[in-house]
Structure formats: structure tokens, C-alpha cells
Structure 1
Amino acid sequence: MAVALAAVTLPSVVEELLSEMAAAVREGARIPDEHLLSLKFIFGSSAIQALDLVDRQSITLISSPSGRQVYQVLGSSGKTYICLTSCHYCSCPAFAFSVLRKSDSLLCKHLLAVYLSQVMSTCRQLSVSDNQLTEILLMEKKQEA
């Protein structure tokens, strides 16, 4: 399974690392330790937290008949966040503060977990109607307010 990162403007080293991890998974191997160490080097403690979210199968790809797709991540606090890989966005406060405002992180743990779940093919999938997807997005917006 190819990782769809073309629309995302991640540094090339991150894209290469995720591609190598995906290749290892496709070949039936476990992800090499050096890749996991690189992940930790680039993302710090967020890498471990993201891997924990993947292990707990906290990521769901929600798609609708119109072709719209969003990822819903159940965070460690029990709150759900919406992640959009097409524009490199997460609705969590850490993304707004650390990624957008301070620019001291490339990704929050939720968005990193989405990319890792794509690499590992562990993302749960849910098909909903266009109206249901709109309601999910509106509920997320109400939670932010």
C-alpha cells in the first residue's frame, strides 16, 4: 500500500522515512529499529505517543460517497480529533500551538499517528453518507468552540 503523502508538504526526510517504513511493512517485515529511532529523533516524544495511538487502533478513516475523507483520532485523553492529510491539519490544541503558532514541531501526535497507521495499514475504515460526514465535522467544530 503506497502512502499518500503527495499533497502534504512534509520535509523530504520525513516522507522518505515513512516510505521506507511502508516498504518494510509491504514486504512482511517489521519496521526496522533504525527507522523507529529516526522517528524518535525527528519527532521526539510525539513519536512514542503516536505509535501508542496506532497500537490502540485509535485512528479511523471516515469516507463518504462524494469522495471526501477525514481521519478521526481518539486521543489519549478520550477526546476525538479530526485530521486532514490533504492539508496537513489536526483539530487538537497541540497542533494549533506547537505546529502553527510556535513552529517548534512538524506534526502533532495525532497527525503523525494517522501517517503511521497508513504505513502500517492499521487504520480502521468507516463509510458514512455525505450528510453524516458533515455532521461529524460540525460536531468537531462545536467541540472546539
Structure 2
Amino acid sequence: MAVALPEVVEELLSEMAAAVRDSARIPDELLLSLEFVFGSSAIQALDLVDRESVTLISSPSGRRVYQVLGSSGKTYTCLASCHYCSCPAFSFSVLRKSDSLLCKHLLAIYLSQLLRNCQQLHVSDKQLTDLLMEDTRRIKGAAGTWTSKTEA
């Protein structure tokens, strides 16, 4: 079951997709709206899209996961179906503080989809499982490190 974005975001992305279909570009007023809703994350997400940093990884079973090469050089795993990203900004700004709707990586995914600027990688089900398990271990390791630092 997919989790819905707030209506204003859905509408904005829908208008942007229509503009791209009609004229192959996003009008300035929609870019300004994007920046109004997402702040500096909008510009950063557009930069990630321009750098072709978004990859859709799919398997024969239909599983789909995205990886975004962040501006820091780290790769983050994202699940667009439930609006999840493995980056620290998502954990802090979206989940803990609730002061952002999405991190720049998730926004880059949505923008790359509508701009049709998403890299594609097809892997076996086992490869995708291994990738997700590796990512889970990395996240747990980072969380353990973070927890021990805050307890000290």
C-alpha cells in the first residue's frame, strides 16, 4: 500500500509532470512553488537530478528500490512507495522534527521520474535482497554508533 504525499505536493508534482509532457520543461512559476514548499531542498534535489544521481533498481519479482548518490558522495537507499530514505536528514528533519515533508533524495526521485531522468538497473531478486540487507546492517551500525555517542 503506497503512502500518499500531502495534497499540495501531489498537485505540484502533477502540474510539473503535465508541463514536462506539454513543453519538455518546468516553468519558472512551478520551480518557485517547488522552492516555496521544500525550501533549499528543492534546489539540491534538482541538482541531484541534473547530475543523474538517481537510480531505480528493480528485480524480476517487481520489487523496486531507489539509490541516490548524495552530494556528499554517499549513496542512500530510498523506498518511494512509503517515502523512506536512509539519509540522516530524513531521520532528523522528516521523522524527528517533522519540519520537512521529504529529504532532498526523495524529492530528487520524484523529480527524476517526471523528468524521465532516472537511471535504470535490473538485478536478480537475490542481488536486491543482498543490497537491502547490506544497507540495513549499515544503518543499524550507524544507529548504534550514534546512540553510544549520545549516551556518553
TM-score normalised to the size of structure 1? 0.93
Verify: 1:81 aligned to 2:113, yes or no: no
Match of 2:85 among 83, 90, 99: 90
Shift of the alpha carbon at 1:8? 3.1
One-letter code aligned to 2:136: K
Moved more, 110-119 or 25-34: 25-34
Percent identity between matched residues is 77
Aligned residues: CA RMSD: 1.1
SS in 2 for 1:86: helix
2:11 equivalent in structure 1: 16
Verify: 1:100 aligned to 2:95, yes or no: yes
Match of 2:122 among 124, 127, 134: 127
SS in 1 for 2:8: helix
CA distance in 2: counterparts of 1:138 and 1:28, whole angstroms = 41
Shift of the alpha carbon at 1:143? 2.2
1:50-79 Cα shifts (integer Å, max 9, x gaps):
000000000000000010000000000111
Match of 1:63 among 47, 58, 61: 58
Larger radius of gyration: 2
2:104 equivalent in structure 1: 109
1:35 equivalent in structure 2: 30
Structure 2 gaps, min length 5: 142-152
Aligned residue-pair number: 140
CA distance in 2: counterparts of 1:13 and 1:103, whole angstroms = 16
One-letter code aligned to 2:97: K
The higher-RCO structure (CA 8 Å, 6+ apart) is 1
One-letter code aligned to 1:59: V
Structure 1 gaps, min length 5: 1-5
CA distance in 2: counterparts of 1:87 and 1:26, whole angstroms = 26
Q: Quick check: which one's helix share is greater? A: 2
TM-score normalised to the size of structure 2? 0.89
